[in-house]
Structure formats: structure tokens, C-alpha cells
Amino acid sequence: MAFEFTDTNFKESALDIDGVAVVDFWAEWCGPCKMIGPVIDELSTELDGQAVVGKVNVDEQAEVSTRYGIRSIPTILILKNGEVVDKHVGMATKQALLEKINAHLS
């Protein structure tokens, strides 16, 4: 299961870490978000120990969503050492996301 980022834990769990964090911005009412959700959960399991993979519910965590200017969902941000290094908006295959993430793991 993917980590649940919140306005309260985002700084320590995504920004202050040494390494990669993958953040999926989503909402309950979003069809494409529901489709990509299981992919995010799988990536969380597969990348355990290599990257923090989690989700931000845009309806419940407005502060983080606003800070990153999230206007379309799903939006996936890849952060390395607290900085956004890649961004994907919309649906994506697991393989496509894995390739983007792996590019920043080394």
C-alpha cells in the first residue's frame, strides 16, 4: 500500500529525505486516479527501500496541492532530495512511470 502524504507529514516524508519520493496527487471522484491507484500501490511495494511512493488526496490536503500548483489530476511528481525532478500529468503505464523513477534512483 502506498504511503499517505498529508499537509502535516509531507516535509519530513518527502522533502527532507535523502533520495527519491514519488507523489501521486489524486481524488476519490477522479476516474483516471482510480485507474492509476493500483499501479502506485504496486510501485510502492516494488520500490520499498529505494524510494518513498505515496499519495496526496487533493481534497483533503490542500496545502501541499496548492504549493505545487496541482490543477489536473492525476499528477505524479518525482522528487529527489526535496526537489521536483520530473512530473507526469494524466494516465501512465507502470513501465513508463518505472522508467522515469529509475532515471533518478542512481
Judged on CB neighbours under 10 Å (0-12, 13-18, 19+), 68 is middle
Domain boundaries, the chain: 3-105
**Does 33 participate in catalysis according to the annotation?**
yes
Of 30, 85, 89, 98, which is the active-site residue? 30
* DSSP-based three-state secondary structure for 66: helix
**Does 13 participate in catalysis according to the annotation?**
no
Q: Residue 1: what pLDDT?
A: 86
Residue 24: DSSP 8-state: E
Q: Residue 43: what pLDDT?
A: 97
Q: How far is the C-alpha of 100 from the C-alpha of 24, rounded, in Å? A: 14
Q: Residue 40: what pLDDT?
A: 97
Cα–Cα distance list, 64 to 7, 45, 94, 98, 106 (Å): 6, 24, 24, 24, 26
For each successive 10 residues of the chain (106 residues), what is the average pLDDT? 95 96 98 96 96 97 96 97 97 95 92
Task: For domain 3-105, give the fold.
Answer: Glutaredoxin (3.40.30)
Of 33, 64, 76, 101, which is the active-site residue? 33
